Amino acid sequence: MAKITRKPAPRKAAMPKKKAKAAVAKPKAPVRTSQKAAKPWTPAEVHEAFSRFRTANPEPKGELEHVNPFTLLVAVVLSAQATDAGVNKATRALFAVADTPQKMLDLGEERVRDYIKTIGLYRTKAKNVIALSAKLLSEFGGEVPRTRAEIESLPGAGRKTANVVLNMAFGEHTMAVDTHVFRVGNRTALAPGKTPLEVELGLEKIIPAEFMLHAHHWLILHGRYTCLARKPRCDVCLITDLCRWPEKTV
């Protein structure tokens, strides 16, 4: 009997392991926002940074125009995803005719909408301004309440709104984290965090009480005019020597 010789089955071309991995490897995320690994600030360094902010600007002011706690509350609600300058442009005329919840209610949603139509999301915001005015009248005697839970219960108001109002209207030591404070907290590694709440709690933990009344404004102004999002002005920054940002431009 003739001997059957089997041809060996052709081997599958094995992909070199390293190459296979490389083919699916994701690009490395740039190390831009996480400063978790940075050396934490010492209490003396934090004190030094805020002393410098205080010396440079002893009485920092917010840039949202308002004439009382109610108009501050409305301005903050309108400022979501809008610039302070854009909000001020619209509210100057609005607050001239409606600076109390009752006057706002009397003005009505349609006219409020007309005043604020240059601001993003103005339809929803007009609805919220009317609804919060009605709630202030029906549940809080027409006054802006003084507790976080009560402010957060108002239509259109969240944690950041409550923090701004509690700080600016009632002098409480709260830390509102907007896009600027979030960036500065992370870049400097003063309070690294993935969410605004993490940064808020981190800042509250390390900033001494003597600076807390103005800390929110110092950090906002620092982010808005010095520690700019795209191109931080490290050459004129007051805290260059303390900041942990590895990509400092000086």
The amino acid that residue 55 corresponds to is T
Q: How far is the CB of 62 from ligand SF4 (least distance, A)?
A: 20
Spatial distance between the Cα atoms of 112 and 106, rounded to a whole number of angstroms: 10
User: Does 182 interact with ligand SF4 (rule: CB under 6 A)?
Assistant: no
Contact stretch for ligand SF4 (CB under 6 A) within 34-42, 74-82, 151-159, 242-250: 242-250
Contact stretch for ligand SF4 (CB under 6 A) within 155-163, 196-204, 213-221, 229-237: 229-237
Q: How far is the CB of 247 from ligand SF4 (least distance, A)?
A: 7
Cα distances (Å, whole numbers) of residue 172 to 112, 148, 176, 178: 30, 11, 11, 17
Check: CB of residue 178 under 8 Å from CB of residue 168: no
| Contact pattern for ligand SF4 over residues 187 through 216, marking x by CB under 6 A | xx----------------------------
Q: Which CB, 157 or 227, lies closer to ligand SF4?
A: 227
Spatial distance between the Cα atoms of 131 and 66, rounded to a whole number of angstroms: 19
Q: How far is the CB of 168 from ligand SF4 (least distance, A)?
A: 24
* Element containing residue 84 per DSSP (H, E): helix 84-97
Is 160 marked active-site? Answer: yes
Give, to the nearest 10 degrees, the angle between helix 159-168 and helix 196-206. 30
Q: Which CB, 103 or 233, lies closer to ligand SF4?
A: 233
Spatial distance between the Cα atoms of 103 and 90, rounded to a whole number of angstroms: 17
Check: CB of residue 78 under 8 Å from CB of residue 163: no
Residue of 178, 194, 235, 241 marked active site: 178
Contact stretch for ligand SF4 (CB under 6 A) within 56-64, 101-109, 196-204, 236-244: 236-244
Is 19 marked active-site? Answer: no
Terminal-to-terminal C-alpha distance of the chain: 87
User: Does 74 interact with ligand SF4 (rule: CB under 6 A)?
Assistant: no
Q: Which of 111, 88, 104, 96 shows the shortest CA–CA distance to 154?
A: 104
Q: How far is the CB of 188 from ligand SF4 (least distance, A)?
A: 5
User: Does 32 interact with ligand SF4 (rule: CB under 6 A)?
Assistant: no
> Catalytic site residues?
160, 178
- Residues in contact with ligand SF4 by the rule CB under 6 A: 187-188, 226-227, 232-234, 237, 239-240, 243, 245, 248
